[in-house]
Chain A
């Protein structure tokens, strides 16, 4: 069964460093998302991406964050200068359709980001 994959599973970085989190969405899906979950807290939406551009973003997704689909399979989240509070599990998700009501999202296993 097709699934969303993410690499690396765990990333440790120093504060102020740039990190890139990678995702391979399900191959025939059209919408891509990033969410994050700080330990013990709710899963929070960061950004959605469709047709090679951002379609929605949350207040969390500030200028330090960017997303890119560099080729036909990968979808990346870049954090330009990491802060301690960026430590979280980052989930990539994808969904197949353009109709909100039918839009089931499928999540990857996550990348745990630890900022020291």
Chain B
């Protein structure tokens, strides 16, 4: 069974700090990896999609990297703001013809003003 792990489960940083969130997956044969943001009691907002052939993707202050061989992805957030406080989830798609996402449990980020 494929597993996605996110460490740490929670992270608290002062405003303005750069930070890295980690995601690891057990099977390197992924097709893509997607990072989401989830606010309390809300839906999931897609942040970035990295295809298996890519090494990184950038959107504004966010940069996601992918290392398939080591089964790891990182989400880098530059110059963090209180509005970045949320739970960040990573999810992967495995297998030819399979579109289902397998999620990690997430990292709850708190950015302190």
Partners in one complex: yes
Interface positions of A (Cβ within 8 A of B): 4, 31, 33, 35, 41-45, 48, 55-56, 58, 91, 93, 95, 100-110, 112
Partner of A95, one of B42, B52, B96, B99: B99
Is the pair A108, B43 in contact by a Cβ cutoff of 8 Å? Answer: yes
Closest to B51 in A: A101
- Number of B interface residues at 8 Å Cβ cutoff, please give it: 28
On chain B, the residues within 8 Å of A43 by CB distance are 44, 89, 91, 101, 103
CA distance A102 to B46 in the complex (A): 13
Which of B32, B43, B103 lies at the interface centre, i.e. has the most chain A CB atoms within 10 A of its CB? B43
- With A43-B89, A107-B44 as known contacts, state yes or no: A102 contacts B51, CB within 8 Å: yes
- Alpha-carbon separation in the docked complex, A112 to B41 (Å): 9
Provide the bound-state CA to CA distance between A104 and B49, in Å: 6
Q: Closest approach, in angstroms, between the C-beta of A39 and any C-beta of chain B?
A: 10
Query: Are B99 and A103 in touch, CB under 8 angstroms?
Result: yes
Q: Which residue of B lies closest to A41 (CB)?
A: B105
Q: Are A56 and B101 in contact (CB under 8 A)?
A: no
B99 touches A107 (CB 8 A): no
A6 nearest CB neighbor, chain B only:
B43
**Bound form: Cα–Cα A91–B42 in Å:** 10
Instruction: Find B34's partner among A35, A104, A108 (CB 8 Å cutoff).
Output: A104
B31, B42, B99, B105: which contacts A31 (Cβ < 8 A)? B99
**Can you identify 9 A-B contacts, CB atoms within 8 angstroms?**
A33-B100, A44-B103, A48-B99, A55-B99, A100-B32, A100-B97, A101-B52, A107-B45, A112-B41
Q: How far is the CB of B19 from chain A (nearest CB, A)?
A: 22
